[in-house]
Amino acid sequence: MPGHYPLRPVPRCVLTKRLQLYYYEELGWLIRFLANTAASAFPYARANTPAGRLILLQLNLLFGAGYLPWQVFHLRVHHVASVMSARNY
C-alpha cells in the first residue's frame, strides 16, 4: 500500500510493552553513531583536509566522543530492563 509505513520499534514497544524492541532501537543508534564517528575520523586525520571543513569534523568527533560512551551505558540499561521484563511475564 503506497504511503503506508509500519510502526517504528519505539511506538511498537510502547503499545505492546515489549522492552526488547527498545534495546534494538538503541543498538541501531549505537551502530549509526559508531559509523558516523569513524567516517569523520578518516578525513580529519588526512593532512590535506581544508581548514573550513575541519571544524565540522571536530564537532562531529567531539559529539561522538561524548555520545558513544553514554549510548553503551544506555544500551546496557535497556538490556537489563528487557531481561527483567521477560522474567516477569
Mind listing the pLDDT tens digit of every residue in the chain (89 residues)? 455 545 555 666 666 667 777 788 888 888 999 999 999 998 888 878 888 888 888 999 999 999 999 999 988 988 888 888 777 65
Total tally of structural domains belonging to the chain: 1
Q: Is residue 80 part of a domain?
A: yes
β strands within the chain, DSSP E: none
Q: Is residue 33 part of a domain?
A: yes
Whether the CB-CB separation of 53 and 45 falls below 8 Å is answered with no
Which pLDDT score is estimated for 10? Answer: 60
Domain interval for residue 74: 25-45+53-88
Torsion of Cα atoms, 28 then 32 then 37 then 43, to 10°: 160
Report the alpha-carbon distance of residue 9 to residue 30 in Å, rounded.
15
Report the alpha-carbon distance of residue 25 to residue 66 in Å, rounded.
19
Q: Is residue 16 part of a domain?
A: no
Which pLDDT score is estimated for 43? Answer: 86
The residue whose grid cell reads 503499545 is 15
Q: Is residue 69 part of a domain?
A: yes
Q: ∠ CA(21), CA(24), CA(25), 5° rounding?
A: 85
Element (H, E) at 33: helix 20-45
